[in-house]
Amino acid sequence: MTARSREEEFRVSTPLELLFDLCFVVAVAQAGNRLVNAEAEGHPGYGLTSYAFVFFVIWWAWVNFTWFASAYDTDDVAYRLATLVQMSGVLVLAAGVPRAFDHHDFTVAVVGYLIMRAALTLQWLRVARSETGPVRQTAVRYATGLALVQLGWLIMVLLPRSVWTWGFVTLAICEVSVPVIAERHQATSWHPHHIAERYGLFTMIILGETISASTVAVQVALDEKNVLFDLLPIAGGGLLLVFAAYWIYFDVPIHEHLAQDETPPFAWGYGHYFVFASGAAVGAGLEVAVYKVIGKTHISQLAAAAAVTVPIAVFLVATWAVHARHDKRETAQWMVLPVSAVLVLACTFAGHWAVLLSGLVSVAMIASAVILAARAAAASPPGPA
């Protein structure tokens, strides 16, 4: 199991990776549904805290598989079987999400997580057996770090729930520290274009959750004809938000920056937690807004609007911080997303029209970005013939 080359041409996601991602659709949907219930019942603090914990486990499991596969996807029998085991772990994790949200019982979720991590640890041991020198040392550090942290999770399951919050935070810090320590002297040979595509595909999964929420709004509008005109602005605004999120994320040829080491891979990869988590939360917020219109929740109109505007503002800022700003050259271009985030937050006070107004602000953001990009291109000197 030797490393693949970073210079490999035409490196794209494999069908097995796409199948693997489908399992995460279930897990993300479970987390989003539980967030909807918590916000609709008037418990946003509890819901967001539980969502942040659960989504971290989902996201981190996906991240580890993705970066390992980028460097060591040999697609042999052992690799496929290990991936199958990890997929089963994802499904167990997804099944444990309701318990984690409703009762703070993370036992099932942790079991699913441990199944995934055990398979990944064995993969790193395969690498250590096949490689030599610094590369082998990196693989050994990965396997050792994973094993130690998983031991910590096993101990956590046996401890009282009262210590789970601080224990979870501690183990999460240990988790994200493992790659930093393991690759301190020798980085793995991940492929820039492949990594950029994989993150882009997971972004599409996240945006798909928001599209699903918009579809629910339209379906309810058709069933509840007396609130049809109240729900259509939510459906239309949600669609505009999805389109804007797609535009600003995929406008950046990030693989070029990753290949040239202009973008620190750890900062970029880890920062996507906020991009993914906030993007999925937008879909949950749209469903809360729908529930408010049809009378299935008694939270205030301000709280229902904030369930959409706050996560989309976080998405804009997070995307700007770790992704989009690398492609901007002028100050005005740099300021488009942060200013738009502030304007979206201001839309919270628009009441029932907050979602549609946020979508229109996002469209104006895209128009401004396109105009500024065209102006910057016209002002830049022509390249060599």
Burial class (CB in 10 A: 0-12, 13-18, 19+), 288: buried
242, 276 contact by CB (below 8 A): no
- How many Cα atoms sit within 13 Å of 215 on the Cβ side? 6
Q: For residue 23, what pLDDT is reported?
A: 87
173-208 tens-digit pLDDT: 999 999 999 998 888 888 989 999 999 999 998 988
Q: Say whether pLDDT at 384 is over 60.
A: no
Q: Which two tokens stand for residue 9?
A: 């041409």
309-351 tens-digit pLDDT: 999 999 999 998 888 777 666 777 778 888 999 999 999 999 8
More confident residue, 6 or 223: 6
Say how far apart CA 209 and CA 257 lie, in whole Å.
28
226-264 tens-digit pLDDT: 777 788 888 889 889 999 999 989 887 887 778 776 556
Helices (H), the chain: 15-40, 44-72, 77-103, 107-130, 133-158, 164-182, 192-223, 228-250, 254-259, 265-294, 301-322, 331-346, 354-379
Instruction: Give the rounded percent of residues in the chain with a pLDDT score beyond 70.
Output: 96
219 CB-near residues (< 8 Å, 6+ apart): none
Angle between helices 44-72 and 77-103 (to 10 degrees): 170
pLDDT band at 385 (very low <50, low <70, confident <90, very high): very low
* CA neighbor of 189 nearest in space, from 325, 61, 69, 45: 69
Q: For residue 132, what pLDDT is reported?
A: 87
The answer, as to whether pTM is greater than 0.85, is yes
Please enumerate, as own/partner, the contacts of 89-92 that have beta carbons within 8 Å and a separation of 24 or more.
Answer: 89/61, 89/113, 89/114, 89/115, 89/116, 89/117, 89/119, 90/20, 90/23, 90/24, 90/26, 90/27, 90/61, 90/116, 91/23, 91/26
CATH placement of domain 192-379:
1.20.1410
- Calculate the average pLDDT of the chain: 87
First to last CA, the chain: 45
* CA neighbor of 286 nearest in space, from 346, 239, 328, 320: 239
Say how far apart CA 325 and CA 145 lie, in whole Å.
33
Q: Which two tokens stand for residue 264?
A: 């620190």
17 CB-near residues (< 8 Å, 6+ apart): 66, 69, 73, 198
Say how far apart CA 357 and CA 240 lie, in whole Å.
10
The domain segmentation of the chain, as residue ranges, is: 15-182, 192-379
68-98 tens-digit pLDDT: 999 999 999 999 999 999 999 999 988 888 8
